[in-house]
A and B are shown apart, each in its own frame.
Chain A
């Protein structure tokens, strides 16, 4: 009552005082009545009251002038009509809570799934980084046709290349950085920090200002650097330095040396995931062109388009080509490409992202078709009411608008609930992502773009849901509707429309089911790939020794001792140090084979892995010919190498590998002699062909101070982690270990995208099938009810129950078959787009097609079973008396 009185205050004083007693009396009586109306009564009652009073009060206040002639009632204004529609619509919803709940829930699921997926791909793929004007922040990629056909963006350019790119006028600012890791010490625990070594300041390129302090000065960036300085990320500032506002005056220790922090990045700014920026300190002019380990980024100058910048880069590349081609063959025909940073970094994920957005949109379409079906079914039962309205002069447009308003109301509620689902779902989904993604500081949340997307979905859903019923309702003939009873002639077109909607639902489900089937098969194939190595029970971790303390041989000695001590731990079967491990290796290097004239065109390259003697044992990779490395392969012994089978096939076709000599890169120190041939392991990703690979002993080189330690243990290597940490600490308490992961986990992460796509699309397909099943059930139930009389007649003239069952199931079968055929046709036509994302299964895979058909047929029969059984039980006497 007090709420009611409060609402009354919305009215102008005069009105309130005159009618208060009456209004309150009526309220009390209505409430008494509502109590008898069961479960939903109270909610419905309050909803009505609130809508009534709020809208009424608003109208009263707007037209406080009471017309002097009541015969001249003011015409309804546009706003009044909309309000009236809204009020009617909410009443419709409240009057049929079941209908509204089903509709809102389906839409909430459909819209929620869409917002969730859009939020994920927006946060991780489309707009992953919070840089201002992100589409003008470019990454410079390079393609050396002599080496490979790919355009690569990460760690691919030399300082000399950068100096050439920096001359381009298309860019307002350019920057280049090498990625590395630095040890931060001087706290409780040493910490490994992902670091960018800068050739030029990055703040001007990013167009952000440091949150504290400043960027690097020219002096600090010059070769040799004027003093040790650092810029740290907001994340690091908070986690390690407790957001100390005096950080600029506090020295920190990087790799054991003091450095002063001159700036703190703003929150969220982490270029390529780095937490620490240091001046690179080298002399670009002194670095050979072949040391290509820099990332180059640039900010387009105002008014310059990406195409113009690329044209200028082409000119620069051509000039370098002419100048350098004699000394460096790979520069012949090289290309420089400027691409927006986000698309360059996330380009591998883009096809899958588009696919997911498309797949989940199908789910929403099906949900809309279902609700449109519900509306149609209800339109039939409301026909009389609508006909009364039409007869009393309501325009057809007015009736259509009425339905649209109701659909809009349901769509808004669905979108709101969906958004709530999506924002909880996003948090859960982010927790499932592999570490590589979260390392970049990427996050997905409901932002303005996701909101806009959801709003657009709501509008589209409302239109889709209302279009068909509105069209159908406006064509209803009021005379017919008023005369005929609910089962009259006017419903036939509605039934046809509903059947068409169900066919569309089945078709869309078939498309999704086909996609899910293909991805699941593809993922199963990936699991079955012969990896060539045994990951079970292997733990990996990484260490980077600071060059200052571990110069040359000292690093090797450290890893030697570490491997030896770990090998002595109980339960350890084998342990090795290596620069990389399968299935995702990345270091490849050009080489030359003595005695083989280099092929024209391509420069031979191979993965080059530095490995300690037990590497092949640890991964259980068989040596097919020759020998593995031994403890005697040291700096003072002749240099030896092992190649894989793919290397022999590609570069030594037919001839004996053992004893052949190679020159790797342009490092001095004489040739390497091949002493063994190892079996192939998947080294370029599980789904990619095995690349030629060269293994060289750790102890015969001094370049690598950063190695992985691979430990195979009986007990499950994870249980061994404390012992492994302790062993590292016993050798050097300042060395953090990082990238700790089981090899199985690393493999799982490497097929993360395929797994995610398979799981998500399977979930979508399951939802789609459920919705389609509901659709079939609805249309069949209705059809059985409408045909009660006909069935009764059939039975009375001798049709058996089995025949009736068959009659109904056949009808459902016809719907399912049409839908299936349409869906498979769409699926086959669109399947080609999936080709690149599938592994070991063609988009036309007959097994998958058959499975989709069988599943859908089963679902159709199950969904139609209940109505069919009901038809079977019809009592002919009752049915005939029904009229």
Chain B
């Protein structure tokens, strides 16, 4: 597997949010806020900038219009992970997990 630079924190969170299923922009934002207890809050500009890059990189793409059960939100654009996106996300999470494992192995970081 070629070496890749890790995804940035907001991007990782966006991908994680989409891993639960297709979302539109505002839902992604709310998802991230609740997962991080408000530590990461994305403004519209930042969010769509990241979306633009992820789309251009082929990690996500636009999903079909949402389930009409969601009512008025039908006209929104929904995004979902592409297979490439899943791969990147898994690779990064694995990498982070390895780091966490390494850290746990250090007794000075494991205290009590």
Nearest B residue to A58 via CB reads: B45
Residue in contact with A66 in the complex, picked from B56, B59, B109, CB distance below 8 Å? B56
Evaluate contact between A71 and B52: CB separation under 8 angstroms.
no
**CA–CA, A57 to B5, complex, Å?**
24
Q: Is A188 in the interface zone, CB < 8 Å from B?
A: no
Q: Is A528 in the interface zone, CB < 8 Å from B?
A: no
Given contacts A72-B5, A73-B5, A385-B39, contact A52 B45 (CB under 8 A): yes
Evaluate contact between A11 and B45: CB separation under 8 angstroms.
yes
Given contacts A18-B52, A75-B5, A477-B111, contact A23 B45 (CB under 8 A): yes
**CA–CA, A518 to B4, complex, Å?**
70
Nearest A residue to B103 via CB reads: A391
**CA–CA, A391 to B110, complex, Å?**
12
Evaluate contact between A67 and B57: CB separation under 8 angstroms.
yes
Evaluate contact between B54 and A70: CB separation under 8 angstroms.
yes
**CA–CA, A73 to B26, complex, Å?**
23
Q: What A residues does B4 contact at CB under 8 A?
A: 71-72
Evaluate contact between B43 and A391: CB separation under 8 angstroms.
no
Q: What B residues does A91 contact at CB under 8 A?
A: 41
Q: How far is the CB of A4 from chain B (nearest CB, A)?
A: 9
Evaluate contact between B39 and A389: CB separation under 8 angstroms.
yes
**CA–CA, A602 to B109, complex, Å?**
82
Q: Is B34 in the interface zone, CB < 8 Å from A?
A: no
Q: How far is the CB of B60 from chain A (nearest CB, A)?
A: 9
Tell me which residues from 9 to 23 in chain A have a Cβ below 8 Å from any Cβ of chain B.
Answer: 11, 15, 18-19, 22-23
Residue in contact with B53 in the complex, picked from A57, A67, A480, CB distance below 8 Å? A67
Q: Mark B43-61, 1 if CB is under 8 A from A, else 0.
A: 1111111011110111100
Evaluate contact between B53 and A22: CB separation under 8 angstroms.
no
Q: Is B99 in the interface zone, CB < 8 Å from A?
A: yes
Given contacts A52-B46, A385-B39, contact A70 B110 (CB under 8 A): no
Evaluate contact between A48 and B56: CB separation under 8 angstroms.
no
Q: Is A68 in the interface zone, CB < 8 Å from B?
A: yes
Q: Mark B61-101, 1 if CB is under 8 A from A, else 0.
A: 00000000000000011000000100010000000100110
Q: In this complex, which of A15, A30, A479 has the most chain B Cβ atoms within 10 angstroms of its Cβ? A: A479
Q: How far is the CB of B26 from chain A (nearest CB, A)?
A: 5
**CA–CA, A95 to B38, complex, Å?**
10
Given contacts A25-B26, A26-B26, A70-B58, contact A53 B53 (CB under 8 A): no
Q: What A residues does B58 contact at CB under 8 A?
A: 70
Q: Mark A731-760, 1 if CB is under 8 A from B, else 0.
A: 000000000000000000000000000000
Residue in contact with A73 in the complex, picked from B45, B53, B110, B112, CB distance below 8 Å? B53
Q: How far is the CB of B105 from chain A (nearest CB, A)?
A: 12
Tell me which residues from 47 to 78 in chain A have a Cβ below 8 Å from any Cβ of chain B.
Answer: 48-49, 51-53, 55-57, 59-60, 66-73, 75-76
**CA–CA, A125 to B100, complex, Å?**
62
Q: How far is the CB of B84 from chain A (nearest CB, A)?
A: 8
Q: What A residues does B8 contact at CB under 8 A?
A: 73, 76
Q: What B residues does A95 contact at CB under 8 A?
A: 38
Evaluate contact between B53 and A66: CB separation under 8 angstroms.
yes
Q: Is A38 in the interface zone, CB < 8 Å from B?
A: no
Q: In this complex, which of A29, A51, A91 has the most chain B Cβ atoms within 10 angstroms of its Cβ? A: A29
Evaluate contact between B25 and A70: CB separation under 8 angstroms.
no
Nearest A residue to B87 via CB reads: A71
Residue in contact with A56 in the complex, picked from B38, B41, B49, B88, CB distance below 8 Å? B49
Residue in contact with A19 in the complex, picked from B48, B53, B112, CB distance below 8 Å? B48
Tell me which residues from 3 to 30 in chain B have a Cβ below 8 Å from any Cβ of chain A.
Answer: 4-5, 7-9, 11, 24-26, 29
Evaluate contact between A22 and B43: CB separation under 8 angstroms.
no
Nearest A residue to B11 via CB reads: A73
Q: Mark A390-425, 1 if CB is under 8 A from B, else 0.
A: 011100000000000000000000000000000000
Q: Mark A363-389, 1 if CB is under 8 A from B, else 0.
A: 000000000000000000000110011
Nearest A residue to B56 via CB reads: A66
Given contacts A66-B53, A70-B54, A391-B100, contact A52 B43 (CB under 8 A): yes
**CA–CA, A388 to B56, complex, Å?**
30
Residue in contact with B56 in the complex, picked from A11, A56, A70, CB distance below 8 Å? A70
Interface size grouping (class) on chain B: 35 or more
**CA–CA, A335 to B99, complex, Å?**
79
Nearest B residue to A384 via CB reads: B37
Q: What A residues does B100 contact at CB under 8 A?
A: 391
Q: What B residues does A59 contact at CB under 8 A?
A: 49
Residue in contact with B44 in the complex, picked from A23, A71, A388, A391, CB distance below 8 Å? A23
Q: How far is the CB of B51 from chain A (nearest CB, A)?
A: 8
**CA–CA, A95 to B45, complex, Å?**
19
Q: How far is the CB of A465 from chain B (nearest CB, A)?
A: 22
Q: Is A27 in the interface zone, CB < 8 Å from B?
A: yes
Q: What A residues does B26 contact at CB under 8 A?
A: 25-26, 29-30
Q: What B residues does A70 contact at CB under 8 A?
A: 53-54, 56-59, 88
Q: What B residues does A69 contact at CB under 8 A?
A: 57
Q: What B residues does A29 contact at CB under 8 A?
A: 26
**CA–CA, A95 to B24, complex, Å?**
25
Q: How far is the CB of A176 from chain B (nearest CB, A)?
A: 70
Q: What A residues does B25 contact at CB under 8 A?
A: 22-23, 25-26
Q: How far is the CB of A173 from chain B (nearest CB, A)?
A: 63
Residue in contact with A48 in the complex, picked from B38, B43, B49, B111, CB distance below 8 Å? B43
**CA–CA, A388 to B96, complex, Å?**
13
Evaluate contact between A22 and B5: CB separation under 8 angstroms.
no
Tell me which residues from 535 to 583 in chain A have a Cβ below 8 Å from any Cβ of chain B.
Answer: none
Q: What A residues does B54 contact at CB under 8 A?
A: 70
**CA–CA, A185 to B53, complex, Å?**
82
Given contacts A22-B25, A70-B59, A71-B88, contact A49 B43 (CB under 8 A): yes
Q: Is A483 in the interface zone, CB < 8 Å from B?
A: yes
Q: Mark A473-484, 1 if CB is under 8 A from B, else 0.
A: 000011110010
Q: How far is the CB of A433 from chain B (nearest CB, A)?
A: 51
Q: What B residues does A391 contact at CB under 8 A?
A: 100, 103
**CA–CA, A392 to B96, complex, Å?**
8
Evaluate contact between B57 and A388: CB separation under 8 angstroms.
no
Nearest B residue to A66 via CB reads: B56
Q: In this complex, which of A25, A49, A60 has the most chain B Cβ atoms within 10 angstroms of its Cβ? A: A25
Nearest A residue to B48 via CB reads: A19
Tell me which residues from 492 to 527 in chain A have a Cβ below 8 Å from any Cβ of chain B.
Answer: none
**CA–CA, A48 to B43, complex, Å?**
7
Nearest B residue to A60 via CB reads: B49
Q: What B residues does A480 contact at CB under 8 A?
A: 111-112
Q: What A residues does B59 contact at CB under 8 A?
A: 70-71
Q: What A residues does B46 contact at CB under 8 A?
A: 52, 55-56
Evaluate contact between B45 and A56: CB separation under 8 angstroms.
yes
Q: How far is the CB of A32 from chain B (nearest CB, A)?
A: 10
**CA–CA, A68 to B51, complex, Å?**
14
Q: How far is the CB of B9 from chain A (nearest CB, A)?
A: 6
**CA–CA, A801 to B42, complex, Å?**
50
Q: What A residues does B45 contact at CB under 8 A?
A: 11, 23, 52-53, 55-57
Q: What B residues does A75 contact at CB under 8 A?
A: 5
Given contacts A49-B44, A53-B43, A385-B39, contact A71 B57 (CB under 8 A): yes
Given contacts A66-B53, A73-B5, A75-B5, contact A56 B76 (CB under 8 A): no
Evaluate contact between A15 and B39: CB separation under 8 angstroms.
no
Q: How far is the CB of A203 from chain B (nearest CB, A)?
A: 61
Further pairs besides A23-B44, A30-B26, A73-B8: 12, Cβ < 8 Å: A15-B48, A19-B52, A25-B26, A25-B76, A52-B42, A52-B46, A57-B45, A67-B56, A70-B58, A70-B59, A70-B88, A388-B39
Pick 22 A–B contacts, CB within 8 A, sort by A: A11-B45, A15-B49, A19-B48, A22-B48, A23-B44, A25-B25, A25-B76, A26-B29, A30-B26, A52-B43, A53-B45, A56-B43, A68-B57, A70-B59, A70-B88, A71-B5, A71-B88, A73-B11, A73-B57, A385-B39, A388-B36, A477-B111
A residues at B contact (CB < 8 Å): 11, 15, 18-19, 22-23, 25-27, 29-30, 48-49, 51-53, 55-57, 59-60, 66-73, 75-76, 91, 95, 384-385, 388-389, 391-393, 477-480, 483
- Which 4 interchain pairs have the tightest Cβ spacing? A70-B57, A52-B43, A56-B45, A19-B48
